[in-house]
Chains A and B, each alone.
Chain A
Amino acid sequence: MGGLEVEGLRAYYFPADRPPIRAVDGVSFELKGGSSIGFVGESGCGKSTLGLALLRLLPSPGRIVSGAVRLDGVDLMGLTEGEFGRSIRWRRISMVFQGAMNALSPVYTIGHQLSEPLIYRLGLSKGEARRLSIEALEEVGLGGDLMDRYPHELSGGMRQRVMIAMALALRPEILIADEPTTALDVIVQAQILNLLKDLRERLGISIMLLTHDLGVISEIADAIAVMYAGEIVELGPSDLIYSSPKHPYTKGLMAAAPRIRGGSKIASIPGHPPDLGNPPKGCRFGPRCSAAIPACERPPPMVELGAGHSVRCWLYG
């Protein structure tokens, strides 16, 4: 249960007066039931768009252009919006949104917000929804006394726990967590990550983690997908990616991560990510790549390196 297959997914934004922004441009990956995959990349690489596209929540003017999404072998793209809303969104695939601060409505109590999916999706009575909401709070390590409190009365970590409880309220099989620890301090970050790990083990959910932080990924993910400019540039088991990164961008990311005893300066990758409305013709990382060769003028293929490890780079093709 909870196996997700994504094939050639493209999700673009269509601004009125500019060429389309190809935020997710041909992404393919597989998430096995009960496992976890981490998407890492800098802001603007398309990870949030990927998450929203899988939930069909792309804000206007964004939409899915092509690709296949299968959940336990069943094609989700063929479902109408109504069917998807009733049977998939939040019930089988759910999401912890970026920014614990803004994902909770400031004017409703925690209890009200936790009850909403139970009432509107499962048709439970208010009393039942309340009982289940208290259980959900307890599951993420909070007390039922929070039910009548408002988000502004809670700390950032508590809010993120509430958000996770809300995402798990309908017992989904897949949880997409978009930057779940950003804007939290390190200790709370660790607590939230432990909570996610613990929930994965107890509930058997699959987790798809979207983050810019390699450290966060290493805590949870069985597999890592490195995203750059709307594409997956390297995909593989996390220990392989950590021990022997192949793509020049992945290597750059590793070098850019601070280490406690690292000593000297943190390395950075020169240049900026490309404009996704007009990306480079060849390799999208080419203009910033120190290892670029003439072949990089053409789009590189995804090269299989074995053991589930693949890389989108001419150096290996």
Chain B
Amino acid sequence: MALKGFLIQRALNMAAILLITVLLTMAILGPSADAILKRAIEQETRTEILQNKELVGKFKDPGELEDYVKSQVQGRISSMGLNDPWYSPKRLWTIAIRVMTLDFGQSYYIRGYGGSSNVRDIILESLPRTVLLFGTATLLTAILGILIGAAAAKRAGSLLDKIVMGYAAISNSFPLWWIGMLAILLFSYTLRIFPARATPPIPPADPAYPAALLYHMALPLLTMVSMGFGGWAYMVRNLMVGMLQEDYIMVARAKGVPEGRILYGHALRSAAPPIVTMMALALSGSFGGAMITEAVFDWPGLGRLYWEAIGLLDVPVIVGLTYVSTLVFLLSVFMADILYGILDPRIRIG
């Protein structure tokens, strides 16, 4: 019963946050996007009409032609639903409802690989690629970081501990995009081991595509993992050094529980909630916030799509991407909450 109430409350909470996100995105993009879009429509219509010599020939008076152009422009603007100002409740409400049901409409300029202008299709094309690269990278980073951090915590003060801590400080101080560029320079141009561009030069329909994608993925993956695990190890190490001093660890040792079980059972599980939070935030953050990394490695994922859409001010794509990344974020936090309960009974609900 309590669990049901909890779920309902969380669902309502999430819906409210998503609605606010959509409205805020519209408020930020609305005014300028409307003006730019209207000008683009006018330009396009005018060019279309003026290039049609036959149509132009029908008008004797330039004024009449101008009126015709204006009426055509107006017709297109109203057919696209741009007559009302962006802040009119009718437009906002329609957009909010559509966006929240994952209908993001047609993009202005950006096209998918198959030429589709449906924003949902475009996003769904990029999403798996981002999940593939960043999901894998985050998981590998976290697992490596947890294992190394736990090992360092067990031997706090040892040479291994000092090396791990030093590496964490150094690797965390370098921006990933800069290391990425150096890695491309070294591995692609000097050593010629990995391709410089992460986008395979063959169409996605090609049967060789998956293998090519994995090969192209190697360099960004290695760069991200090697730069990322230090920070994780540092955090896990510090959490676990505290846990390992708890009385119940000494009791477990006295009872004869093997060291590995003490480290990865008793100590790591008590430290789990902050680690799971980090993991959830890192996973969801990497999906939306990897713009620069994807741009450096030219990885055809959500980050690069975001980057393009912002450059072109392609509002439906920006709104769609913002919505999807917010959704991913909320779902990860929700899953983290559920996981807490499983890992730490003190937080369990109901």
Interface of A toward B, CB cutoff 8 Å? 55, 57, 59, 85, 89-90, 94-95, 97-99, 102-109, 116-117, 120-121, 150, 152, 163, 166
- In angstroms, how far is the closest chain B Cβ from the Cβ of A169? 8
List 26 interface pairs A-B (beta carbons < 8 Å), by A numbering: A55-B254, A57-B250, A59-B250, A85-B256, A90-B254, A95-B254, A97-B247, A97-B251, A98-B247, A99-B247, A103-B248, A104-B248, A105-B248, A105-B266, A106-B346, A107-B269, A107-B270, A107-B345, A108-B265, A108-B266, A116-B257, A117-B256, A120-B255, A120-B256, A150-B346, A152-B346
Tell me whether B63 is interfacial, beta carbon within 8 Å.
no
Q: Is the interface of A mostly helix, strand, loop or mixed?
A: loop
Tell me whether B344 is interfacial, beta carbon within 8 Å.
yes
Question: Is A102 within 8 A of B247, CB to CB?
Answer: yes
Question: Is A90 within 8 A of B255, CB to CB?
Answer: yes
Question: Is A116 within 8 A of B252, CB to CB?
Answer: yes
CB nearest to B267 among chain A residues: A105
Could you say which of B255, B258, B266, B346 contacts A166, with CB atoms under 8 Å apart?
B255
CB nearest to B255 among chain A residues: A117
Q: Mark each residue of chain B from 227 to 270: 1 if its CB lies under 8 Å from any CB of chain A, else 0.
A: 00000000000000000011110111111111000000110011
Tell me whether B276 is interfacial, beta carbon within 8 Å.
no
Tell me whether B14 is interfacial, beta carbon within 8 Å.
no
Question: Is A121 within 8 A of B254, CB to CB?
Answer: no
- State the CA gap A166–B252 with chains docked (Å): 11
* B residues in contact with A116, CB < 8 Å: 252, 255-257
- In angstroms, how far is the closest chain B Cβ from the Cβ of A167? 9
Tell me whether B282 is interfacial, beta carbon within 8 Å.
no
Question: Is A102 within 8 A of B255, CB to CB?
Answer: no
CB nearest to B273 among chain A residues: A107
Tell me whether B343 is interfacial, beta carbon within 8 Å.
yes
- State the CA gap A105–B257 with chains docked (Å): 13
Question: Is A107 within 8 A of B344, CB to CB?
Answer: yes
- State the CA gap A59–B252 with chains docked (Å): 14
Within 8 A of A (CB), among B189-247: 245-247
Could you say which of B254, B258, B265 contacts A57, with CB atoms under 8 Å apart?
B254
Q: If the complex has contacts A150-B345, A152-B345, are A105 and B254 also in contact, measured as CB distance less than 8 A? A: no
* A residues in contact with B246, CB < 8 Å: 102
Q: If the complex has contacts A57-B250, A102-B247, are A107 and B343 also in contact, measured as CB distance less than 8 A? A: yes
- State the CA gap A120–B255 with chains docked (Å): 8
* A residues in contact with B269, CB < 8 Å: 107-108
Question: Is B256 within 8 A of A90, CB to CB?
Answer: yes
- State the CA gap A94–B251 with chains docked (Å): 10
- State the CA gap A97–B252 with chains docked (Å): 11
Question: Is B255 within 8 A of A105, CB to CB?
Answer: no
